[in-house]
């Protein structure tokens, strides 16, 4: 995990060969939906492990079968709310919750309109009460223009003030990171990699395409 010097509180995993191997498979156009979903689950689990390194811990006395000693508990791991941005983040959340197994889970359905306005429509919001000791983790694989996550953060903050707000994603574009940090400077961001730029349609380059379509299949209108 390495901090990106361009922004405060933005980290990538481009120094991890394991993460980069998973990302390579996700980028490959030959990767089918089953392997794509499994890759997102693996990324979620690994990134959750890494997030625990930034959490508060508490020393506790324990007794082994041989003698008394000292261990730790990760206090913040017991106070997590995971917000899943439908639909692409479902496998990512599955991986996160394998490590953050005490987490409460919220669901947000948010869709981004077409260029150039990229208007955001939120149709479904179910978020638990957020407490002052909570770490709120918003899972969204693709951080492109940032419009969706800005709107989601605005909505989530209505449910209470958290200790931390964290975005976990697979890929991010510099344009999206800058917009999010400008609107919500208190948010931290952890992504597998930060890509080069957005194209005119708002897709990340080189990217991996539409994460939702690749994980679950492209929708049709009957």
> Known binder of ligand: residue 31?
no
> Known binder of ligand: residue 87?
yes
> Known binder of ligand: residue 112?
yes
> Known binder of ligand: residue 202?
no
> Known binder of ligand: residue 219?
no
Q: Reduced to 3 states, what is the DSSP secondary structure of residue 7?
A: coil
> Known binder of ligand: residue 101?
no
> Known binder of ligand: residue 109?
no
> Known binder of ligand: residue 42?
yes
> Known binder of ligand: residue 144?
yes
> Known binder of ligand: residue 140?
yes
> Known binder of ligand: residue 207?
no
Q: Which residues of 159-181 are buried (b: 16+ CB within 10 A; e: fewer)?
A: beebebbbbbbbbbbbbbbebbb
> Known binder of ligand: residue 211?
yes
CB 130 within 8 A of CB 136: yes
> Known binder of ligand: residue 99?
no
> Known binder of ligand: residue 39?
yes
CB 88 within 8 A of CB 140: yes
> Known binder of ligand: residue 120?
no
> Known binder of ligand: residue 187?
no
> Known binder of ligand: residue 108?
no
> Known binder of ligand: residue 172?
no
Measuring CA to CA, which residue among 217, 221, 203, 163 is closest to residue 32?
217
H-helix or E-strand containing 108? strand 104-112
> Known binder of ligand: residue 209?
yes
Degrees, nearest 5: CA angle 3-106-19: 35
The span from the CA of 184 to the CA of 165, in Å, is 9
> Known binder of ligand: residue 115?
no
Question: Could you tell me which residues are annotated as the binding site for GTP?
Answer: 38-42
Question: Could you tell me which residues are annotated as the binding site?
Answer: 38-42, 87, 112, 140-148, 204, 209-211
Question: Could you tell me which residues are annotated as the binding site for 5-phospho-alpha-D-ribose 1-diphosphate?
Answer: 87, 112, 140-148, 210
Question: Could you tell me which residues are annotated as the binding site for uracil?
Answer: 204, 209-211
């Amino acid at each position: 995990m390495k901090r990106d010097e361009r922004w405060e509180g933005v980290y990538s995993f481009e120094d991890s060969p394991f993460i980069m191997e998973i990302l390579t498979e996700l980028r490959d156009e030959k990767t089918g939906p089953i392997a794509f979903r499994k890759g997102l689950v693996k990324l979620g689990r690994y990134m959750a492990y890494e997030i625990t390194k930034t959490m508060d811990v508490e020393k506790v006395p324990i007794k082994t079968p041989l003698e008394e000693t000292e261990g730790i508990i990760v206090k913040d791991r017991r106070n997590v709310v995971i917000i899943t941005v439908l639909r692409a983040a479902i496998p990512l959340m599955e991986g996160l919750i394998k490590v953050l197994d005490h987490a409460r889970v919220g669901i947000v359905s948010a869709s981004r309109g077409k260029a150039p306005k990229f208007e955001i429509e939120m149709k479904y919001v179910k978020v638990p009460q957020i407490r002052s000791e909570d770490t709120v983790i918003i899972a969204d694989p693709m951080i492109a223009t940032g419009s969706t996550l800005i709107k989601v953060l605005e909505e989530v903050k209505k449910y209470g003030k958290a200790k931390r707000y964290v975005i976990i994603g697979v890929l991010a574009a510099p344009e999206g990171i800058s917009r999010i940090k400008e609107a919500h400077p208190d948010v931290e961001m952890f992504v597998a990699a930060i890509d080069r730029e957005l194209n005119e349609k708002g897709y990340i380059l080189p990217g991996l395409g539409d994460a939702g379509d690749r994980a679950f299949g492209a929708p049709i209108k009957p």
